Amino acid sequence: MSNTTLQASPPRAVLDREVVSATVTLIATVVRHIQLKRALSEIDPNPELTFWRLIYGGLMDLVVIDWCKLFGSDDEAKQPSHWKNIVPETGHDGFRKGLLAHLNITWEQWTKYREHIVYVRNNYTAHFSPPWLQPTNTAGPSDDDKYPGLDFALEATCYYYSRLLAQLNSSGYAHNYPEDLKTDYLPLFIVQTREAASKAIGATNGMVDRII
């Protein structure tokens, strides 16, 4: 038998470029969709046209579904981009503590928020539970709070990105990703998105909804 010491395999994120690329793309998609929905809602929080209502609702659905790929089920085969499958197991506690500090909330608050989004995914966006739309639904959030706010979702996603980049950098993983999503990418995206949203909504002002 060889006397060569066996080395533990590096985290999969360092080795599998496809997983890393898919995860970064997924993170960027979640952040973009949240910011796009924000931009549209800032200009017209309650649009009358069915056209815009469908877009607003579709953006929420996409955020919920994709965010759960990052923070929902951690099944390694089905959700390779979940943070637990990217961050080495030895770093899980540190990730959790850093996430709570970043969001400035308790573990109980985080659990409640995460479960809220997962509940929406499991009962409406990815699967459909008829009682979801019933006023008497008491299984999940109240009717007035059926859909989650997206502030924590955005910040948690940005935090995940920062941890992923730190892991790649410390592993010598060559990439050209922005070092800081919130300072190196989002500001320009937000400005351009607001400009486009303003022009798009402005172009439909005055239209009468003829769809029942």
pLDDT digits (tens, 9 = 90+) for 110-156: 999 999 999 999 988 888 877 666 665 555 555 446 788 999 999 99
Let me know if residue 22 belongs to a domain. Answer: yes
How many domains does one find in the chain? Answer: 1
Indicate if the pLDDT at residue 70 is higher than 80. yes
Indicate if the pLDDT at residue 6 is higher than 50. no
pTM of the model: 0.85
| Domain membership of residue 97 as a residue range | 12-204
- Report the interhelical angle of 107-120 vs 92-103 (nearest 10°): 90
Average pLDDT for the chain: 87
List of long-range contacts for 26-29, beta carbons under 8 Å, 24+ apart: 26/66, 26/69, 26/70, 26/81, 27/70, 27/157, 27/160, 27/161, 27/164, 27/181, 28/181, 28/185, 29/62, 29/66
- More confident call, 184 vs 147: 184
Rounded to an integer, the average pLDDT of 57-76 is 95
Let me know if residue 62 belongs to a domain. Answer: yes
Counting residues of the chain whose pLDDT is more than 90, the rounded percentage is 70
Let me know if residue 1 belongs to a domain. Answer: no
Let me know if residue 5 belongs to a domain. Answer: no
Rounded to an integer, the average pLDDT of 59-76 is 95
Residue 135 has a pLDDT of 60
Residue 130 has a pLDDT of 73
Give dist(CA 210, CA 212) in Å, integer.
7
Let me know if residue 3 belongs to a domain. Answer: no
Rounded to an integer, the average pLDDT of 154-169 is 95
8-57 tens-digit pLDDT? 334 444 458 889 999 999 999 999 999 999 999 999 999 999 999 999 99
Let me know if residue 180 belongs to a domain. Answer: yes
Let me know if residue 2 belongs to a domain. Answer: no
**Under 8 Å between Cβ of 131 and 137:** yes
Residue 146 has a pLDDT of 77
